[in-house]
Amino acid sequence: MAANAAPATTGMKKTLGLTGVTVNAMALIAPGAFLWITYQIQAAQTLPGSGASTALDMFPGIVFALILAFFTALSYSELARIYPEAGTGSCYYFAERSFLDKLNAAHHRWARPTKLATGWAAHLFYWVYPGVMVAFMAILVNFVLQQFGLDLGTIGQLVVAGVFSVIVGYIAVRGVTGSTTTALVINVIQLVTLVGFSILAIAYRVLNPEGAAFVYDSAPAVVLPKDLFSVFAQSTIAILILVGFESATAFGAEAKNAKRDVPRAVILALVIQGLFAYLIEYFAANYAISDKLTGTDPKGAAISGMDAAAASGAPIGDLIRQVGDSMLGGFGFPLAIIVAVTVALAILGTTLSAMNTGVRITYAMAQDEEMPGLLGLLHGRFATPHFAVGVMVVVSAIIGMVGTLSVVTLTGITLASNFGTFVLYGITCLIALNAFVGRAEFSFLKHAVVPILGFLANLAMLVTIFALGFIGGGDSQTEAFIALGFAGAWLVASVIYVVLRGGPARRPVAERTTA
């Protein structure tokens, strides 16, 4: 390690304790929102070729994805522990520093390529992800209005997408303190709603007031795997609901004690939201699914159970309404609307957290002269990268508008964000391995086995998602091409900027202040 390396200073205010850092990361995971958003996709998933449903392995798939997420989270946590001075740079800073710390100067030449690759993946994740959430918000608003006989149509959803993006940007510019308060309130509302829904769903199953025939014949049937390949296929979707724990590392510049609190926040966010919230709510939802959940297929034929969930645009809303009517004396409709509102709040928190994380990594790269300098300007009053937020608002609005056009475009932009996620997570696992090899505190289990397993798991998820898309043909293939198109366009833009900028970084980020 360079003895004279100066800590990174950012000019941002150190206002966050462990709770503040944790809730900002928790906001990005938003359990209630993703149960509502992704359940249809999970229920509808089939294997290519055979067309067999994987839905009955939904819960085991989440468990498997959670294990993979913990491998990655442990790598992030360990990196944050040894590099508390990373500030807003997070994984971008880790990438460079892990090579510059090597005594053998031959390793140093890999610092810049690695940090640029990490920065590219982080931007593909964090700059596309808010746009995906903007699209989901527009679709959710339209769903709620449809329950009252109103339909926004395409133009109306485009307007909602633009307005929502501006609202989130406004909150982000005002600073992380306001964002933390927003995130804390939203998380409390979400967790209370989650517990209430889970209790109601489990009570419905136990009491069975309608004499329903349930999809799963017992509680163990919900949690035990039926087919290993189906579990793996389900985990490629389930991993999408668990991302966000790593965003804690982007708040190092605003943490009062980054060395102590940031590593803890990474793990706490995943434990609370993933291990606790998601496992409870997915168990409860699957446990309560029965033939009383009804709908129609694309041809108009009557269907029920998991088939109805797969065909519905909001299966959790339908389930809440059905269970609420049965258990609460016809209160299902207002209950579904109330939960939909909490989902909207969760989407707000998710979008805000992703935007906060994304612009902070952008800020670090701009200070490092690897992105345009305007993106590194701080607001005079709020000390936030306001120009970067403004650009992200425009980008998020455009991506969100594209996502509202059809299910195919929505899935395509989601996969584009996921592409960045898995590349970023995989690279960071390797960075953790590189950072600890040769250090006195090297642990074979924590710093070799865990990062390697994390890298392989993320690589497997990435390959599987696109393999399923290409093998499936039709819309799945179109969605995969949309994702690759976004990833390729961002890669080309990044390479062009680096080439036009010319020359290496002026000084390594590890030895430069960002005041």
Return d(Cα 258, Cα 471) in angstroms, integer.
45
> Of 197-201, 260-264, 362-366, which gets the smallest average pLDDT?
362-366
Both tokens of residue 297? 């297929």
For residue 73, CA distances in Å to 77, 95, 236, 241, 262 come to 6, 16, 17, 14, 11
Both tokens of residue 394? 């425009």
Residue 383: band (very low, low, confident or very high) from pLDDT cuts 50, 70, 90: low
Both tokens of residue 225? 């795997």
Nearest alpha carbon to residue 62 among 237, 179, 229? 237
What is the domain extent for residue 423? Answer: 18-501
Return d(Cα 189, Cα 27) in angstroms, integer.
11
Return d(Cα 118, Cα 96) in angstroms, integer.
9
Regarding pTM above 0.75, the answer is yes
Return d(Cα 434, Cα 376) in angstroms, integer.
29
For residue 347, CA distances in Å to 138, 146, 208, 428 come to 10, 19, 32, 26
What's the N-to-C CA distance of the chain in angstroms? 22
pLDDT above 70 as % of the chain: 86
pLDDT of residue 512: 45
> Of 57-61, 114-118, 247-251, 355-359, which gets the smallest average pLDDT?
247-251
Residue whose entry in the numeric block shows the structure tokens 């496992």: 279
Specify whether the CB–CB gap between 74 and 446 falls below 8 A.
yes
Q: Is 302 exposed, middle or buried (0-12, 13-18, 19+ CB in 10 A)?
A: exposed
Residue positions counted in the chain: 515
pLDDT of residue 62: 92
Return d(Cα 16, Cα 125) in angstroms, integer.
24
The residue type of 486 is: F
Both tokens of residue 126? 């964090």
Number of domains within the chain = 1
Q: Quick check: is 480 in a domain?
A: yes
Return d(Cα 25, Cα 179) in angstroms, integer.
11
Q: Quick check: is 486 in a domain?
A: yes
Q: Quick check: is 361 in a domain?
A: yes
Q: Which tens digit of pLDDT belongs to each residue from 397-454? A: 999 998 888 877 887 887 788 888 888 899 999 999 999 988 888 889 889 999 999 9
Q: Which tens digit of pLDDT belongs to each residue from 463-507? A: 877 776 677 666 666 777 788 788 888 888 877 877 777 655 544
Return d(Cα 41, Cα 62) in angstroms, integer.
13
For residue 433, CA distances in Å to 63, 171, 387, 454 come to 25, 37, 35, 10
pLDDT of residue 176: 55
CATH number at residue 48: 1.20.1740.10
Which DSSP helix (H) or strand (E) runs through 302?
strand 302-304
Q: Quick check: is 13 in a domain?
A: no
Which DSSP helix (H) or strand (E) runs through 467?
helix 450-472
Q: Quick check: is 513 in a domain?
A: no
Across residues 38-56, what is the average pLDDT?
Answer: 80
Q: Quick check: is 512 in a domain?
A: no
Q: Is 140 exposed, middle or buried (0-12, 13-18, 19+ CB in 10 A)?
A: buried
Q: Quick check: is 506 in a domain?
A: no
pLDDT of residue 427: 92
Which DSSP helix (H) or strand (E) runs through 167?
helix 153-173
Q: Quick check: is 4 in a domain?
A: no
